[in-house]
Amino acid sequence: MTLSRERGTGGLLRAYRMSVRILWPVALAVLLVACGAGSTPDPGPSSTGAPDGSAAPRPSRWPGTAVLAIIKLGGIDGEIAKAGEDFVKAVDAGDPAAMWGAADGLIPVLEDTSLSVQHLAAWDNTEELAGYLQRAYPLMLEGATQLRDSITAGDTQGVQEGSLKLAQGLTEYAPARPILADLVPEALLQQRNLNL
C-alpha cells in the first residue's frame, strides 16, 4: 500500500474519521449480533436422541448441496466477524494500513460465496437466508474492494463511499447470522448422516 503526499494522508485520515462516525454504530451493532450468534454450536448427544435416551426420529434429509453450503458459509461467518472486528479497531485507531489489511483480507472470503448462496436459494428451507446473503455479500465485497483500492490511491471520496457500502452490507448481513447459526448444527448432523 502506498500513500503519496503528506497532504493526501491527512485527507485520508479525515475520511477515516468520517467513516468512524458513519460506520461505528453499524459495525458495533453487527458485532453485538456476533456475540449472540457468532459461534457455531456443537450438536451434542441431545441432537441425535430424545431426552429419555430413546432413539429420536431422524430429521428430514437435506439436499447435499445445501448441507455443504451451510457448513461453508458458517465458517465464512466467523471470518466476516473477525474482519469486522479488525476493521472497527483500525478505524478507531485511525490506522490506514490496518484498514487496508482488514478490507483486503475480507475480499477473498467473499469472492467465493456465490455458488453456495445459489444452492441455498434453490431449496425452500434456506431461501430466506439466501435472500439476505444475495444482498449482503455483493455489497460487502464491493465496499471492501473500493475501500482497499481507494486507500491505495489516496482517494478520500472513495474511502467514504467504500466504507458506506461495507457498512450497508454488514447491516444487510446482520439478520442472516442467527439463521445461519441455527442451521449449522443441523447441517453438521446431516453431513454425518449423508457421509458427505
Q: At what angle do helices 176-194 and 156-173 cross, to 10 degrees?
A: 60
pTM of the model: 0.74
CATH code that applies to domain 6-37+64-194 = 1.20.120
* Residue 112: DSSP 8-state: T
What's the pLDDT at 195? Answer: 72
* Residue 39: DSSP 8-state: S
pLDDT digits (tens, 9 = 90+) for 115-124: 999 999 999 9
Q: Which three cell numbers stand for residue 137?
A: 455479500
Q: Where are the domains of the chain?
A: 6-37+64-194
Local confidence band at 194 (pLDDT 50, 70, 90 cut-offs): confident
How far apart, in whole angstroms, are the C-alpha atoms of residue 181 and residue 135? 18
pLDDT digits (tens, 9 = 90+) for 117-164: 999 999 999 999 999 999 999 999 999 999 999 999 999 899 989 988
How far apart, in whole angstroms, are the C-alpha atoms of residue 183 and residue 102? 27
Burial class (CB in 10 A: 0-12, 13-18, 19+), 10: exposed
Averaged confidence pLDDT in the chain:
79
What's the pLDDT at 186? Answer: 93
pLDDT digits (tens, 9 = 90+) for 25-70: 555 555 455 444 444 444 444 444 444 554 444 557 889 899 999 9
* Average pLDDT, integer, range 13-25: 57
Q: How far is CA 53 from CA 14, 56, 190, in A?
A: 62, 8, 20
